[in-house]
Amino acid sequence: MKVALAYSGGLDTSVAIRLLQEKYNADVITVSVDVGQDPKELKKIGEKAKKLGVIKHVHIDARGEFVEEYVFRSIKANGLYEGYPLSTALARYPIASKLVEVARREGAEAVAHGCTGKGNDQFRFDTTIAIKAPKLKIIAPIRELNLDRKWEIKYAREQGIPVPVNVGRPYSIDENLWGRSIEGGVLEDPSKAPPEDIYAWTRSPAKAPAKPHVVEIVFEKGVPVSIDGKRMSGPELVTRLNRLAGEHGVGRIELMEDRIMGLKARENYEAPAATVLIQAHRALEQLVLTKQELIFKGTVDQTWADLVYSGLWFNPLREDLDAFIERTQRRVTGKVKVELHRGSSRVIARSSPYSLYDKELVSFDRFGFDQRDAASIIKFHALQDRILSRRRRG
Ligand code: ARG
């Protein structure tokens, strides 16, 4: 049996190769999808797979597609789940989609992934595969064989599988251009602060430059197109901003996350560019959208993020919401300045040709309109409240 496995080079998927060969009698084709993870790790991945005896390794560069189809939509939707910029969730859909494509091309009977039965990623993988290829069998060895991380580390040692983790640093890391997630080990105790060694993209705020840096971001129709006056492609812009904001210690997130199955999990993320871009995008929306649009879009954004988090990317509601969001973005064009300083990012200036701000009208220093007109509007403002209080007085 030929099986296409989504391969990241990490512990779960490396162990999965051997389990598929041993316990499922499979010929394994590994598929690695570049969504912006560490290029040094990616370079080694094909060789690593071959050492583990796979019959073929397929590498797909999906960075452009990931940014344009998923990350940009998420910026337009201010994609936050419980306050963290959706990152792992977003990347699972293109990864699973590419996996299916390779399986078809290679004539595989099944696809496999390294998800455990406790997390969210199994929902995203399984739903995407079932929707794109209902006949393809799904094998999830870690989940099916009910394995835990300690067992996996021991098995890897016995099998001579090189793994980047050890019992002292047993983190499970997921990485893409939009964010980095770190779980496991001491992080599972929410009463303890995360150790400094979990971070790879952000400098400790204590060690970040004392001098603040102001970055200027230009958006066109809701999408960032340039930083500090330089126009660049989506992947390049995000990569650069990750480096810049990371230098200033921006984008560390720690939270108690409510997983799809109801488990609470202690999560840690690094997402410097995502933090800054979503903040800047919101600031621009505040300038150009009406109050009513902002309120309504807030609930739309929330629902959008919930669907994407929960494995429901292919739900038609997500597409319906995207159509609404897309329409609102026609006026989300302009410039935002964000100050990066020792772990914090702060919007300090914004402008747009579609601005609804009218200085003449709001200013303390000008007339603009006749203030006396306000008094007659206020007479009717709390009309029902006034009637009610009169009734109560009898
Ligand atoms: N809990 C996060 C999410 O579902 C990310 C989990 C990433 N996996 C990992 N092994 N760190 O979006």
Task: Tell me the CA–centroid distance for residue 88 and ligand 1, in Å.
Answer: 6
CA distance to 2, 36, 174, 276, 308, per residue, from 245 (Å): 44, 17, 20, 8, 26
Q: What is the pLDDT of residue 167?
A: 64
pLDDT (tens digit, 9 = 90+) per residue, 267-282?
999 999 999 999 999 9
More confident residue, 264 or 168: 264
Percent of the chain with pLDDT over 90: 91
- The verdict on the CB of residue 174 being under 6 Å from ligand 1 is yes
Residue 362 pLDDT grade (very low, low, confident, very high; cuts 50, 70, 90): confident
Beta-carbon contacts of 133 under 8 Å, excluding residues fewer than 6 positions away, are 100, 103, 104, 111
Element (H, E) at 321: helix 316-328
Q: Give the closest residue (by CA) to ligand 1 atom 8.
A: 174
Flag the least confident range among 100-104, 213-217, 234-238, 356-360: 356-360
Is the shortest distance between the CB of 88 and ligand 1 below 6 Å? yes
Amino acid 162: pLDDT = 83
Please tell me if the CB atom of residue 159 comes closer than 6 angstroms to any atom of ligand 1.
no
Q: Is the CB of 11 under 6 A from ligand 1?
A: no
Work out which ligand 1 atom sits closest to the CA atom of 89. 12
Active-site amino acid positions: 12, 92, 121, 172
Question: What atom in ligand 1 is closest to the CA of residue 181?
Answer: 11
pLDDT at residue 361, as a whole number:
83
Would you say the CB of residue 257 lies under 6 angstroms from ligand 1? yes
- Whether ligand 1 lies within 6 angstroms of the CB of 310 is answered as no
Closest by alpha carbon to 143, among 261, 1, 308?
261
From the CA of 257, give the closest atom in ligand 1: 1
Q: What domains does the chain contain, in order, with CATH numbers?
A: 2-170 (3.40.50.620), 175-351 (3.90.1260.10)
**Residue 188: its pLDDT value, please?**
96
Which of 181, 187, 308 to mutate to test ligand 1, by most ligand atoms within 8 A of the CB atom? 181
Chain segment 289-341, per-residue pLDDT in tens: 999 999 999 999 999 999 999 999 999 999 999 999 999 999 999 999 999 99
Q: Which two tokens stand for residue 70?
A: 């998923």
Mean pLDDT along residues 71-96:
98
Least confident of 5-19, 101-115, 227-241, 350-364: 350-364
Q: What is the mean pLDDT of residues 27-47?
A: 94
Q: Give the pLDDT score at 3.
A: 98
Q: Which residue has the tokens 């621009």?
A: 284
The band of 156, judged by pLDDT with boundaries at 50, 70 and 90, is very high
Cβ(328) – ligand 1 distance below 6 Å:
no
Q: What percent of the chain is modeled with pLDDT above 70? A: 99
- Ligand 1 centroid–CA 257 distance in Å is 10
| Cα–Cα dist 391/175, whole Å | 62
> Does the C-beta of 89 come closer than 6 Å to ligand 1?
yes
Tell me the average pLDDT across 221-229. Answer: 98
Q: How many residues does the chain have?
A: 394
Average pLDDT over residues 60-71: 97
Structure tokens at 157: 């040692």
Mean pLDDT of the chain: 95
Residue 212 has pLDDT above 90, yes or no: yes
pLDDT band, residue 59 (cuts 50/70/90)? very high
pLDDT tier, 44 (very low <50, low <70, confident <90, very high otherwise): very high
Give the pLDDT confidence score for residue 364 in this predicted structure. 78
Q: Report whether pLDDT(369) > 90.
A: no
Q: Tell me which of 82, 121, 187, 260 to substitute to probe ligand 1's pocket, judged by most ligand atoms within 8 Å of the beta carbon.
A: 121
165 pLDDT more than 70: no
For residue 35, report the distance from its CA to the centre of ligand 1, in Å.
15
Q: In a mutational test of the pocket of ligand 1, which residue from 180, 183, 187, 199 has the highest number of ligand atoms less than 8 Å from its CB?
A: 183
CA dihedral 44, 48, 49, 52 (to 10 degrees): 180
